[in-house]
Structures are given as structure tokens and as C-alpha cells.
Amino acid sequence: MRASLSAPAVVAVLLAGAAFAQVKRGGNPEAARLVNPVERSPTSIAAGRRIYQRMCERCHGPAGKGDGTSATGAEPPSDLTDDLWAHGSTDGEIYTVIHDGSSIDMDGYAGRVSDTDIWNVVNYLRSLGPAAAPAGAAPPR
Ligand code: HEC
């Protein structure tokens, strides 16, 4: 017998893939399992800060308070120094928001910033806030 996929089945699979690629508000268990491969060293934090200043500051503000002036969407840029992480608070979830983008208000940086540099930015953001969970920490349950 010939194994064949019906057109609706193919569409369903594609839609499921698209939904999965979207950053989900309220945390992303799949992303939470990612382990930060870059040690949170002063070198990494400094590299992350340089990228932040070049690419993120205009929206998230010089100190990460969300008070940059370039965001035009309905949603204000997040304060990245508080302990509120709308898309999840693990390193992996923060990495995924930066990599894939968050909703329509912030484009993803995959392809523009290397994976290592995205982890450097995660390490930098971790150095700002009070909720500095250890790198690669297990997600809160
Ligand atoms: C054009 C403006 C803009 C730029 C540039 C931008 N962001 Fe955002 N970002 C936003 C907005 C608006 C939100 C909140 C919307 C949302 O959560 O869906 C957000 C949300 C986030 C979040 C989620 C915070 C949370 O509470 O879960 C993170 C992390 C983040 N940005 C990091 C970055 C980093 C790192 C960069 C640079 C590499 C960057 N952003 C560049 C506008 C921007």
C-alpha cells in the first residue's frame, strides 16, 4: 500500500510547526529546557552589553528599563531589569525570545546576531536584574 498524506494533513502539520515557532506568552517549556552554553563571565557580559547597546537600547532603554523611544507597537518594551518575564524567566526562554522575536513588537535576531552572542546578551540581561537565576537553572514549576 502506498503511504500518502492528504493535503489537509500536510496543512495541519505546517500550521502546527508555525504555531510552535511562535513565542508563547506565559513561558515556553520547550525553550526552558535549553541550557545556556556560555558561562556568565565578565567577558561574556561585556560582549552582551555591546550588542545590547547597538541593537536593543533604542527600545529597551540605556539601563534596560523599557524606556527607549523607538518602539511603536501597542505593547511597551519590557523592563528587562525587573523579575517579571512575560515569556518565561529561564535563560532558554529569554534566549528564544531574542532569537525568534516576541509577538509583533520585536523582531527576532536569528541570522543578525550569532547564537553565542545571543547567549552573551542573556548573560548581560541576567547581570542587570534581581532575578538572577544561575545559568542553565531548571525552570520554575
Ligand atoms: C523595536 C523595539 C525593540 C527592539 C529593538 C528590541 N525589543 Fe525587546 N521587546 C520589545 C517590546 C515592545 C517587547 C514587549 C512585547 C512583548 O512582550 O511581546 C519586548 C520584549 C522583550 C523581551 C521579553 C521580556 C519578558 O518580560 O519576557 C526580551 C527578553 C527582550 N525584548 C529582549 C530584547 C533584546 C535582547 C533586544 C536586542 C537584541 C531587543 N529586545 C530589541 C521591543 C523591542
From the CB of 49, is ligand 1 less than 6 Å away? no
From the CB of 32, is ligand 1 less than 6 Å away? no
Q: What is the mean pLDDT of residues 23-36?
A: 84
CA distance 55 to 45: 15
CA 34 to chain centroid: 12
Output the pLDDT for position 19.
Answer: 43
Q: Indicate which residue's Cα is closest to atom 20 of ligand 1.
A: 78
CA distance 75 to 60: 12
CA distance 106 to 99: 10
Q: Residue 131 above 70 pLDDT? A: no
Say if residues 120 and 51 touch (Cβ distance below 8 Å): yes
The Cβ of residue 118 has, within 10 Å, a number of other Cβ atoms equal to: 23
Task: Determine the distance separating the centroid of ligand 1 and the alpha carbon of 34, expressed in angstroms.
Answer: 19
What ligand 1 atom has the least distance to the C-alpha of 85?
26
Task: Determine the distance separating the centroid of ligand 1 and the alpha carbon of 39, expressed in angstroms.
Answer: 23
The Cβ of residue 140 has, within 10 Å, a number of other Cβ atoms equal to: 10
Q: What is the mean pLDDT of residues 118-123?
A: 98
111-115 contacts: CB < 8 A, separation 24 or more? 112/55, 113/51, 113/55
Output the pLDDT for position 27.
Answer: 83
Q: What is the mean pLDDT of residues 85-102?
A: 94
- The candidate with the shortest Cα–Cα distance to 129, out of 42, 63, 57, is 63
From the CB of 67, is ligand 1 less than 6 Å away? no
In sequence order, the 6+-apart residues with CB closer than 8 A to the CB of 133 are 89, 90, 91, 126
Q: Give per-residue pLDDT as tens, 69-79.
A: 998 888 899 99
The Cβ of residue 66 has, within 10 Å, a number of other Cβ atoms equal to: 16
Q: Residue 8 above 70 pLDDT? A: no
By percentage, how much of the chain surpasses pLDDT 90?
64
Task: Determine the distance separating the centroid of ligand 1 and the alpha carbon of 106, expressed in angstroms.
Answer: 5
Output the pLDDT for position 105.
Answer: 87
Q: What is the mean pLDDT of residues 127-138?
A: 62
Q: Residue 28 above 50 pLDDT? A: yes
Output the pLDDT for position 20.
Answer: 45
Pocket test for ligand 1, best of 25, 36, 54, 106 (most atoms within 8 A of CB): 106
CA angle 40, 79, 134 (to 5 degrees): 25
- Going by pLDDT thresholds of 50, 70 and 90, the confidence category of residue 10 is very low
Task: Determine the distance separating the centroid of ligand 1 and the alpha carbon of 118, expressed in angstroms.
Answer: 13
